[in-house]
């Protein structure tokens, strides 16, 4: 099993750069002799410092990075860049560069340190509330099939050619992102797909990056603890569609938010929709849904069309695939060539995204990463369409995250499933029982026959769900996806829902391959 502290990928042979040149080029203020001081890397995390690094001591919500500067210097950092408050906390002989807003400068400085602006790989960026990881994996698969050595940065995993590590944040901090891009360049990656969260745009994590093509999947209720309103959340996402950040875009206009992105984008965009009522440059018409695949026609306004089958369940997955295809078309690929790559390039499973963990006999059991009302709705609708029997859902709402979505998650589950088992999901520093109560309130407000059960911890909940399920039924465990930990009382402990579900299936007497694990896990473990 992968560890709970993800490894950070950096270039293995970084070329040293004189700190004095950085100071000159960025017109920075430093009161120290920089003669002979060379930097080979940069990080804002003291635990990631390598000898030769510039340590970016950033102010945070909890701590000031300058509190960790002594440790960073001990580990070999050669200088510190920080703000005035940080400088006041420092007692060091090492050069200290003071900048008003070091976080806002971090991307550009990291791009300079790692030279990531020079001959970068093709860069694709995907934003939206849901579907970023799924679309990113699909696009990476297509690019690989089209002959590119690829890179990937998602919530689930980061890839540099064959190297695979798990991720901490969805979009890494700018210094980590540029280190990743530098490593990609070093090993000959020619095309990289990056998931771009709203937090990343707002917190300067993708500064210093110019995407060839970006995409917008959708916007729905999430992260209101960070943004306060959907308008504010939307405004942050829209910023990706500006010439400083990207050259072209693909926008799914299935939601009004998408239509607004297309209208207000400041870069050229092409639009796509699976809703026949909405005008778009490209249409997704689904003509077959099976328990293992979805087939659709992708038609352009000029009449050109391709037929596509993807090994994933649901309209939303078809839309994600269409976005991935159109990002390549926007980048100049012939759609016919992309169509040929689809059959070969789409990997059959996405890590923890509607991932089937059950065998051929007994109920179909899926583990999914969905943790928002819209993700629940799309996934439940998709599974209902391929389920003969009952649909049973296990889920919880995460702690220390947008509490206003909890009742809605309960409501949607109770409306669309036949039985709902409300459990825990990363309560973090919150009281798990009180989170369950908020979810249950939403679920119980729905009138109908849906059975509602409360069960904690997750190990018990999945077993309760399986006790209700038989052949022809489907169990969806939403939330944990491919995570290899859970966060209880602010402490991360190893927990793999996919393995737990398999164990529970085995105990319930259903044949399941307990040893079978994803390719990614195997590759990761080999390292
Ligand atoms: C709101 C937010 O994004 N916070 C991130 C931010 O925290 P912060 O600025 O408050 O930092 P802090 O913890 O006070 O620490 C201050 C500084 O000291 C440094 N430090 C801290 C401790 C130490 O031992 N050594 C050290 O150097 C930190 O690296 C940081 O630079 O910087 C930290 C260090 O990089 C991140 O871990 C932290 O992410 C928190 C954990 C988080 O949960 N972020 C979520 C909201 C997020 O960004 N999510 C999106 C995905 C959303 C989605 O689509 O689902 C994402 O892109 O992951
Ligand atoms: N186009 C879509 N519309 C709505 N839901 C989707 C879409 N694509 C995927 N989902 C669902 O959203 C959930 C999360 O999927 P995925 O991990 O791909 O999204 P994400 O944007 O990367 O999420 P996160 O930002 O939290 O990492 C899953 O339940 C998935 O089935």
d(Cα 327, Cα 467) in Å, to the nearest integer?
Answer: 44
Give yes or no: residues 281 and 206 share one domain: yes
pLDDT digits 0-9 by tens, 29-88: 888 999 999 999 999 999 999 999 999 999 999 999 999 999 999 999 999 999 999 999
Ligand 2 atom closest to the Cα of residue 382 is: 31
For residues 110 and 127, membership in a common domain is answered with no
Q: Does residue 269 share a domain with residue 131?
A: yes
Give the integer Cα–Cα distance in Å for 462 and 221. Answer: 26
- The residue assigned the tokens 């909405």 is 278
| 258 Cβ closer than 6 Å to some ligand 2 atom | no
Q: Which one of 311, 345, 379 terminates a domain?
A: 345
Give the Å distance between the CA of 223 and the centre of ligand 1.
15
The pTM is what?
0.93
For 367-408, the pLDDT digits (tens) are 999 999 999 999 999 999 999 999 999 999 999 999 999 999
Q: Which of 294, 315, 345 is the last residue of a domain?
A: 345
Both tokens of residue 509? 């007497």
pLDDT band, very low/low/confident/very high, at 6 (cuts 50, 70, 90): low
- Same domain for 462 and 320: no
Q: Whose CA is nearest to atom 25 of ligand 1?
A: 46
Whether 401 lines ligand 2, by a CB cut-off of 6 Å, is no
Let me know if residue 12 belongs to a domain.
no
Q: How many domains does the chain have?
A: 3
Identify which ligand lies nearest to the alpha carbon of 353. Answer: 2
The whole-number pLDDT of residue 285 equals: 97
Q: Which atom of ligand 1 is nearest to the CA of 72?
A: 27
Q: What CATH number has the domain bearing residue 462?
A: 3.90.190.20
Q: Quote the CA–CA distance of 226 and 199 in Å, as a whole number.
A: 8
Pocket flag, ligand 1, residue 171 (CB < 6 Å): yes
Q: Is the CB of 85 under 6 A from ligand 1?
A: no
For residues 139 and 129, what is the distance between their CA atoms, to the nearest angstrom?
18
Cis-peptide, bond into residue 457, ω within 30° of zero: yes
Ligand nearest to the CA of 70: 1
Domain with residue 304: its CATH number is 3.40.1190.10
CA of 397 to the centre of ligand 2 (A): 15
Region 152-172 average pLDDT: 94
Token pair belonging to 371: 């943790």
Q: Pairing relation of β-strands 269-273 and 191-195?
A: unpaired
The conformational region for residue 197 under phi > 0 = left, psi -120 to 50 = alpha, else beta, is beta
350 assigned to some structural domain? no
Q: Where are the alpha helices (DSSP H) in 65-131?
A: 69-74, 84-89, 102-114
Which residue's CA is minimally distant from atom 7 of ligand 2? 131
**Of the residues 73, 95, 114, the one at which a domain ends:** 114
Nearest residue (by CA) to ligand 1, atom 2, is: 199
Q: Is the CB of 10 under 6 A from ligand 2?
A: no
Q: Tell me, yes or no, whether 321 and 366 share the same domain.
A: no
User: Which-ligand-closest: CA of 370?
Assistant: 2
Residue 346 to residue 329: CA distance in whole angstroms: 16
> Do 79 and 147 reside in the same domain of the chain?
no
Q: Are residues 296 and 361 in the same domain?
A: no
Instruction: Note the Cα 140 to chain centre separation in Å.
Output: 14
Task: Tell me if 353 CB under 6 Å of ligand 2.
Answer: yes
CA-only gyration radius of the chain, Å: 24
- Mean pLDDT confidence for 467-478: 97
Q: How many other CB atoms are found less than 10 A from the CB of residue 507?
A: 11
pLDDT of residue 525: 32
Comparing CA positions, the residue from 57, 8, 378 lying closest to residue 158 is 8
Is residue 4 very low, low, confident or very high in pLDDT (cuts 50, 70, 90)? Answer: low
Q: Do residues 258 and 154 both lie within one domain?
A: yes
ipTM exceeding cut-off 0.90 for this assembly: yes
Both 179 and 325 in a single domain?
Answer: yes
Looking at the chain, the whole-number percentage of residues with pLDDT higher than 90 is 88
Residue 29: the pLDDT is 83
Residues 288 and 149 occupy one common structural domain? yes
Alpha helices in 56-208 (DSSP H): 69-74, 84-89, 102-114, 132-145, 174-186, 198-202
Are the C-beta atoms of 478 and 370 separated by less than 8 Å?
yes
Q: Are residues 283 and 391 in the same domain?
A: no
Range of the domain at 271: 122-345
For residue 344, the model assigns a pLDDT of 78
The answer to whether position 268 is within a domain reads yes
- Asked if pLDDT for residue 348 goes beyond 80, the answer is no
Closest residue by CA, ligand 2 atom 21: 130
**Backbone torsions φ then ψ of 181, nearest 5 degrees:** -65, -35
């Amino acid at each position: 099993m992968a560890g709970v502290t993800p490894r950070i990928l950096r270039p293995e042979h970084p070329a040293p750069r004189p700190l004095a040149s950085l100071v000159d080029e960025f017109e920075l203020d430093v009161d120290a002799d920089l003669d002979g001081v060379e930097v080979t890397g940069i990080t804002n995390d003291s635990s990631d410092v390598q000898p030769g690094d510039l340590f970016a001591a950033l102010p945070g919500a909890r701590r000031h990075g300058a509190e960790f500067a002594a440790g960073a210097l001990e580990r070999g950092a050669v200088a510190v860049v920080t703000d005035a408050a940080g400088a006041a906390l420092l007692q060091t002989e090492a050069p200290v560069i003071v900048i008003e807003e070091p976080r806002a400068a971090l991307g550009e400085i990291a791009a300079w340190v790692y030279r990531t602006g020079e001959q970068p790989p093709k860069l694709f960026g995907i934003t939206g509330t849901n579907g970023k990881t799924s679309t990113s994996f699909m696009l990476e698969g297509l690019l690989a099939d089209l002959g590119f050595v690829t890179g990937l940065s998602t919530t689930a995993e980061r890839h540099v050619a064959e190297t695979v590590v798990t991720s901490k944040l969805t979009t890494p901090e700018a210094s980590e992102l540029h280190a990743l891009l530098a490593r990609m360049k070093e090993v000959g990656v020619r095309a990289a797909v990056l998931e771009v969260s709203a937090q990343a745009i707002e917190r300067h994590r993708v500064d210093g990056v110019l995407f060839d093509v970006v995409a917008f999947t959708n916007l729905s209720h999430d992260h209101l603890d960070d943004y306060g309103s959907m308008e504010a959340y939307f405004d942050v996402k829209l910023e990706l569609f500006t010439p400083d950040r990207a050259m072209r875009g693909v926008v799914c206009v299935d939601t009004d938010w998408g239509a607004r992105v297309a209208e207000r984008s400041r870069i050229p965009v092409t639009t796509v929709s699976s809703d026949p009522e909405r005008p778009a440059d490209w249409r997704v018409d689904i003509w077959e849904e099976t328990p293992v695949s979805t087939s659709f026609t992708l038609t352009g306004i000029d009449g050109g069309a391709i037929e596509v089958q993807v090994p994933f369940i649901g309209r939303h997955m078809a839309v994600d695939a269409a976005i991935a295809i159109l990002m390549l078309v926007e980048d100049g690929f012939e759609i016919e060539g992309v169509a040929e790559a689809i059959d070969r390039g789409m990997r059959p499973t996405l890590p923890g995204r509607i991932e089937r963990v059950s065998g051929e006999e007994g109920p179909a059991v899926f583990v999914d990463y969905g943790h928002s009302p819209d993700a629940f709705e799309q996934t439940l609708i998709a599974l209902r369409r391929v389920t003969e029997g009952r649909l049973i859902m296990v889920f919880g709402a995460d702690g220390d995250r947008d509490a206003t979505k909890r009742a809605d998650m309960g409501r949607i589950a109770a409306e669309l499933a036949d039985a709902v088992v409300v459990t825990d999901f990363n309560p973090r520093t919150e009281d798990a029982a009180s989170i369950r109560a908020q979810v249950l309130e939403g679920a119980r407000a729905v009138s109908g026959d849906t059975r509602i059960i409360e069960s904690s911890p997750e190990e018990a909940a999945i077993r309760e769900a399986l006790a209700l399920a038989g052949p022809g039924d489907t169990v969806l465990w939403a939330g944990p996806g491919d995570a290899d930990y859970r966060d209880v009382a602010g402490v991360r402990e190893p927990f793999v829902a996919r393995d737990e579900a398999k164990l529970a299936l085995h105990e319930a007497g259903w044949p399941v391959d307990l040893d079978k694990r994803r390719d990614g896990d195997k590759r990761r473990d080999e390292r």
